[in-house]
């Protein structure tokens, strides 16, 4: 059975209420539920963490070395400056997939730069909550193949 850590970065706990025109109306619980449904259908176990603390996300990535096969991560605004998060992904050596709900390339200039993508397997952005389910499928397929 495959095991995957799902990380939600800062401010994603407000999903559904935060700028719904940009991020959609689904809550984080809705997204986690959709991911769980998809995961169960593929014999995959998920563990979730949302945190507004960069350090807590790094801690969770470190712990994942002990149990997980891969990581789904929506780094939120940490995408644009958290080299510590980037180093954490490199350090544990687990395949990771970067997720964005919105099409970051169509928003403010500071959102066009990700310091994380280069150490991930790939990136999926712009499909709202479906960015998550696509990413889960992508990671499961990647883990099966590699």
Closer Cβ to a second copy, 6 or 99, answer by number: 99
Q: Comparing C-alpha atoms, which of 129, 133, 130 is closest to residue 46?
A: 133
Out of 53, 62, 83, 100, which one is annotated catalytic? 100
Q: Which of residues 65-104 bind a second copy (CB under 8 A)?
A: 76-78, 80-84, 86-88, 90-92, 103
How far apart, in whole angstroms, are the C-alpha atoms of residue 2 and residue 67? 10
How far apart, in whole angstroms, are the C-alpha atoms of residue 21 and residue 15? 11
Instruction: Return the DSSP state at 82.
Output: -
Indicate if 81 belongs to the active site: no
Closer Cβ to a second copy, 6 or 98, answer by number: 98
Q: Which of residues 115-144 bind a second copy (CB under 8 A)?
A: 115, 117-127, 130-131, 134, 137-138, 141-142
Q: CB atoms < 10 A from the CB of 52, how many?
A: 16
Contact 99, 78 (CB under 8 A): no
Question: Where on the chain is the footprint of a second copy (CB under 8 A)?
Answer: 9-11, 13-14, 18-19, 51-56, 58-59, 62, 76-78, 80-84, 86-88, 90-92, 103, 105-106, 110, 114-115, 117-127, 130-131, 134, 137-138, 141-142
Residues with active-site annotation: 23, 100
């Amino acid at each position: 059975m495959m095991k995957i850590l799902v990380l939600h970065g800062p401010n994603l706990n407000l999903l559904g209420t935060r700028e719904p025109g940009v991020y959609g109306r689904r809550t984080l619980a809705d997204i986690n539920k959709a991911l769980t449904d998809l995961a169960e259908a593929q014999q995959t176990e998920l563990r979730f963490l949302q945190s507004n603390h960069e350090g807590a996300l790094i801690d969770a990535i470190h712990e994942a070395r002990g149990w997980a096969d891969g990581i789904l991560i929506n780094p939120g605004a940490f995408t644009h400056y958290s080299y510590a998060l980037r180093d954490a992904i490199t350090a544990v050596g687990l395949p990771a997939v970067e997720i964005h709900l919105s099409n970051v390339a169509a928003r403010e200039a500071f959102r066009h730069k990700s310091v994380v993508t280069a150490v991930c397997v790939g990136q999926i952005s712009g499909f709202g909550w479906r960015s998550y389910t696509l990413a889960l499928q992508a990671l499961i397929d990647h883990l099966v193949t590699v």
